[in-house]
Each structure stands twice: as structure tokens, then as C-alpha cells.
Amino acid sequence: MAYVMYSGKMISDQIDSYLTNGVAEIDLKDGGLVALGDLAADTTYDSNGVEYDVYEADKPAAATDEVVIIDYAGISEGEINENNYKIGKKLYNLTVPAGTNFRVRRLALHDKFWLGADNFASAPTVGEYAVATASAIEHTPAATLPASGYAVKVLVEKDLTTGMRSNGKIYLVEVVQL
């Protein structure tokens, strides 16, 4: 089993304002759903004390909260002579450490993306739906489309492979309701 988020065909791949950053006080998983709050505090900008493109993030308080999806680019990194280097390709089972900035994608109707099996509270069914849940970052499978709130339709299931090894299932989903 794995948790992962890979962009399929998303508006955030084309329109920069649909990409932003978050920071949380808890560890989070790649592909998790979070709600954004206020701009994060930052003493770099003494004039107003906030970071211009980093929002405080947390688990959604209610199933109907506006949510964004974590697309964490945590790859091999190191520091040499006070320079940070990141080299490699995004894999799976990436955890965002508390207090670390991470990329989030604002969602739009008909966005398509891939999620690992562990990004769901239980195994989803192709042709059915998954929704946001209060106090959880995982998608919760649902047999029917809810009356309101964020929902994706599960379109395809396939093996998540790295090299010649299967690391569980991965699902193509499409945003059908916000």
C-alpha cells in the first residue's frame, strides 16, 4: 500500500494561481486533503509579518470545507556550502514534516489526478465516489455523490509500480463536485 499524488490533467498545471504553498503544525501525507487558513507568519517581511504565498494548513474541520490537495515534492536533498540541492524523482510514501513548507494544488471541476490506495480511508470502488471527511486528510469512499462538498469519481485502478515491483494500487480520480 502507498500514498502518493501524481498530477494527471489539472488546471493547476497551466494556471499558476492554482498552485500555492502551505505549512502545518502536524506531519501530513502526500496526496492528503487540507484546508487553508490565513497567510503564515514570517518575520522576513517586517512591514506586515506574513509570507505572501504560504498559508497555514490543517485537516478540514468539516466535510464541506474548501480543500486543496498536497503535492509534496520531497525528493533527495542535501546542503553543501549553505546551498540546498534537490535531485531525483518524486516517488511514493512521502511525509511532509511538521513546519515544512509544501506545495498544494487548488482544485477545479474535471481535474484528473492519481492517488495511492493509502490516500483513501478504505478501498475505493471504480465508478463510485470519494469525499472529504472532517478531521481527516484521506478521501472517504462513497457509493453515491453527496448533495454538496468536494467529491471525486474513481475512474481507473491500476498497480503502482516502481521498477519491476508492485507497491499497491493507484487510482485515477476526477473532481466532479466542489
Over residues 70-108, the pLDDT tens digits come to: 998 866 666 778 777 766 667 788 889 999 999 999 999
Give the closest residue to 161 by CA, choosing from 114, 129, 124, 121: 114
Q: Phi/psi at 117 (nearest 5 deg)?
A: -55, -35
Over residues 29-57, the pLDDT tens digits come to: 999 999 999 999 887 766 677 878 899 99
